[in-house]
Structure 1
Amino acid sequence: MAYLDLSHLEKSFGTNRVVKDFTLGIEQGEFVSLLGPSGCGKTTVLRMVAGFEQPSGGQIIIGGEDVTRLRPNQRKIGMVFQAYALFPNLTVAENVGFGLKVAGMAAGERNERVTEMLALIGLPEKGGHYPFQLSGGQQQRVALARALAPRPKVLLLDEPLSALDAKVRVSLRNQIRQIQRDLGITTIFVTHDQEEAMSISDRIVVMNGGIAEQVGEPFTIYNQPATRFVANFVGTLNTFEAVVDEPTTGTVTLDGQTVSLGKKIERLRGDKVTLALRPEALHLGQAPAPAMQLQATVREVHFMGSIIRVKAEVADTMVSLDTFNRPDTPPPQVGAAIQVHLNPGDFIALDGTA
């Protein structure tokens, strides 16, 4: 059994079934992200783990203890909310030590723990300040310290970075991950931002319609999506329509060319199949066999710093192509006729799940 075991969780609000037979095992010290669009059930799962929502069915076990019916304060959970939820009338030190005071910790020991937590989040000099005197990023770090101060068994993070600007988000997410690693605390991180989830998670749970569409490491989720939803939600995707020639060898006809994907396709001969390709799998210029060559017309060019995204039309299909910026090689011009090539083995055959 995993350290944090969620078994067949269900949650309904009236006739609305929000979470459906959700099962997940999280190992001690693991950082797992629940990723999905608004309304997919990810925050509801988090709130059931925290004890703020009672499951309609299923079981929650932490460290071998069944906590399904325990109150939030009995579960030894640390929670960080999107909106900080700091007490405005308390200083930073008082906010961090609030849970310790409620638990009856002696003042001397409490002060030592608060000092330790402020050093951990890089704000040792801010103990006497009030929340309104801090930036958004600093307030969220204080909220993190407050959650960690009582030494919880599990840390829950509910979209903690969504109210921050882009640069602060990147810096703080990296800091959260480093603190999590240093403490070895089991963590669930809820986000709708795929880049956040991909960059800091040990594993990702992609949720849709109250179910877990796929659970896996970021590399697997991105490169081997299990469903059409996962493929489209995580990263940018190019899709091509093809016809299956030989399922066992993965031979298809695409844009008038016979192409071997080098892997079996779960289709019948003559079936139509949607093939997906990431933007970085398309390359500018000619290439020797066995690469597949396509003719294209440039429709848009977006300079993004280290990456240049080219949108081009290939046989009436718009595709995105990512290439690294090179100072000595300017990007193609809009309207230019170009050649692109790809490795057919990079194609992903999508299933019928929307």
Structure 2
Amino acid sequence: MAFLQLTNIQKSFGPVQVVHNFDMGIDKGEFVSFLGPSGCGKTTILRMIAGFETPSGGTIFIDGKDQGALKPNQRNIGMVFQAYALFPNMNVHDNVAFGLKVAGDSKPEIDKRVKQMLGLIKLEHLADRFPYQLSGGQQQRVALARALAVKPQVLLLDEPLSALDAKIRVSLREEIRQIQQQLGITTVFVTHDQEEALSISDRIVVMNAGRADQIGTPFEIYNTPATRFVASFVGTLNIIEGKVADPAIGAVTIGGQQISLSEPITGAKGGDSISLALRPEAGSIAEGARGDTALPGKVVSRSFLGSVIRTKLRVGEDIISFDMFNDPGMIPPVAGESVTLRFAAKDLLVIRE
């Protein structure tokens, strides 16, 4: 059994079932992110692990112990919320010390542990300040230190960075990952930000309408999406509609042009409609570009995005986006220009529903 084991977890609010038969094992020291849009069930699962919600069915075990009969304060869990939830009448030291005082630790033990935690988040010099005297990023660091001070078995993070500006968010997520690895604590992180999930997770759970559409490493989730939803939700992706020409050899027709996939198409017959996925960075129109597949088309538009230029190409009825590096020495194509997009057949993925 995994360190954190969720088996057949279900949750209903009245007649509405918001989590359907969820199963997952999380290893000790693993960092797992639940990724998905609002209302997909990710926070509900987190709250059931914490004990704030009672599952309608299924079991939750931590280190082999059933958590079903335990109240939130009886579970050895640390939790950080989106709203920092610091006590406004307590300074930084006392906020971090709160859980230790409730646990009945002695003052010397508390002071020692608080000093360790403030050192960990690099805020020792702000121990006497109150929350209103701190920035948002500093408040969230204090909330993290408070959650970790009690030495929890599992750390739960409920969209802790969503209230921060972009630059602080990037910096703090890197700090969270570094601290998590340093302590080796099992961590569950809930977010709707795909970049956050991809950058700091060991594994990602992509949630859709109360179900896990895919569980895998960031590399697997991004490069081999299992469903149309995962393909469209994670990263920028072209969804291209085609027709199966010959499934045995992986031949498909796109915009009246026949190309071959890298593998046969199982479960399909000639004439069937098929959805294909292609990442924008997989294609190139550069002269001499490598790729065993070519699709001629006409440029529709281009967008300057800083380090890359995203160009939209019409191929038949499809609009395909591709990215090219911003090279000052190269003139990008203009609308109406005919170009040929080249890419490797292996980069064109069949999307299953």
Measured against aligned partners, the alpha-carbon deviations of 1:205-245 in whole angstroms (never above 9, x if no partner) come to 00111111110001111111111111111111112222212
Q: 1:286 to 1:294 in 2, by over 3 A?
A: farther
Question: Is the alpha carbon distance of 1:262 and 1:295 closer, same or farther for their aligned partners in structure 2, counting shifts above 3 Å?
Answer: closer
Q: Hey, what's the Cα distance between the residues in 2 that align with 1:60 and 1:36?
A: 21
Q: Contact 1:54–1:69 at 8 Å: present in 2 too?
A: no
Question: What TM-score results when the alignment is normalised by the length of structure 2?
Answer: 0.96
- Correspondence for 2:6: 6
Task: Find out whether 1:307 has 2:308 as its counterpart.
Answer: yes
Residue number in structure 2 paired with 1:39: 39
- SS of structure 2 residue aligned to 1:97: helix
- Aligned partner of 1:106 in structure 2 is 106
Question: d(CA) in 2 for partners of 1:276 and 1:265?
Answer: 14
Which residue of the partner structure matches residue 167 of structure 1?
Answer: 167
Q: What is aligned with 1:332?
A: 333
Tell me, yes or no, if structure 1 residue 88 matches structure 2 residue 88: yes
Aligned-residue offset at 1:258: 2.4
Deviation, 1:332, is: 2.9
Q: Which residue of structure 1 aligns with residue 320 of structure 2?
A: 319
Deviates more, 1:292-301 or 1:8-17: 292-301
- After TM superposition, give the deviation of residue 289 of structure 1 in Å: 8.0
Q: Deviations over 1:116-156 (max 9, x none)?
A: 10110111101000111111011001000000000000000
2:153 is matched with which residue? 153
Mapped partners of 1:47, 1:327: distance in 2: 50
Closer/same/farther in 2, CA of residues 157 and 58 from structure 1, 3 Å limit: same
Q: 1:288 to 1:53 in 2, by over 3 A?
A: closer
User: How far 1:335 sits from its partner (Å)?
Assistant: 4.1
- The alignment covers a number of residue pairs equal to 352
Structure 1 residues 298-307 or 172-181, which shifts more?
298-307
- CA gap of 1:339–1:258, structure 2 versus 1, over 3 A, is closer
Please identify, of 232-241 and 31-40, the stretch whose mean Cα deviation from structure 2 is larger: 232-241
Structure 1 letter corresponding to 2:57: G
Residue 221 of structure 1 aligns with an amino acid whose one-letter code is I
CA RMSD of aligned residues (A): 1.5
Separation (CA, whole Å) in 2 of partners of 1:198 and 1:41: 19
* Contact 2:50–2:77, Cα closer than 8 Å, also in 1: yes
- Map Cα deviations across residues 161-211 of structure 1 (whole Å, 9 max, x no partner): 000011111000010000000000000000011111011000000011111
2:222 alignment counterpart: 222
1:201-350 to 2 correspondences below 5 Å = 201-266=201-266, 267-287=268-288, 291-350=292-351
Q: What SS is found at the alignment partner of 1:285?
A: coil
Rounded to whole Å, the distance in 1 between the matches of 2:78 and 2:119 is: 18
Is the 8 Å Cα contact of residues 276 and 348 (structure 1) preserved in structure 2?
A: yes
Q: For residues 324 and 230 of structure 1, do their structure 2 counterparts lie closer, same or farther at Cα, with a shift above 3 Å needed?
A: same
Whichever residue aligns with residue 213 of structure 2, its letter is E
Q: CA deviation at 1:337?
A: 3.4
The 3 A distance-change label for structure 1 pair 159 and 178 is: same
Contact 2:251 2:259 survives alignment (8 Å) = yes
Q: 2:246 & 2:79 partners in 1: Cα distance?
A: 53
Question: Following TM superposition, by how much is the alpha carbon of 1:250 offset from its aligned partner in structure 2, in angstroms?
Answer: 1.3
Alpha-carbon distance in structure 1 between the residues aligned to 2:106 and 2:199 = 39
Cα distance, 1:288 vs structure 2: 7.1
Partner of 1:248: helix, strand, or coil? helix
Deviation at 1:81, TM superposition (A): 0.1
1:203–1:217 CA contact under 8 A, matched in 2 = yes
Aligned-partner residue type, residue 292 of structure 2: A
User: Which consecutive residues of structure 2, in runs of 5 or more, have no partner in the other structure?
Assistant: none
CA contact (8 A) 1:213 1:227 kept: yes
Identical columns (%): 59
Query: Where do 1:97-136 residues align within 5 Å?
Result: 97-136=97-136
Q: 1:166 to 1:160 in 2, by over 3 A?
A: same
Preserved contact between residue 247 and residue 269 of structure 1 (Cα < 8 Å): yes
User: Residues of 2 paired with 1:215 and 1:30: CA distance?
Assistant: 14
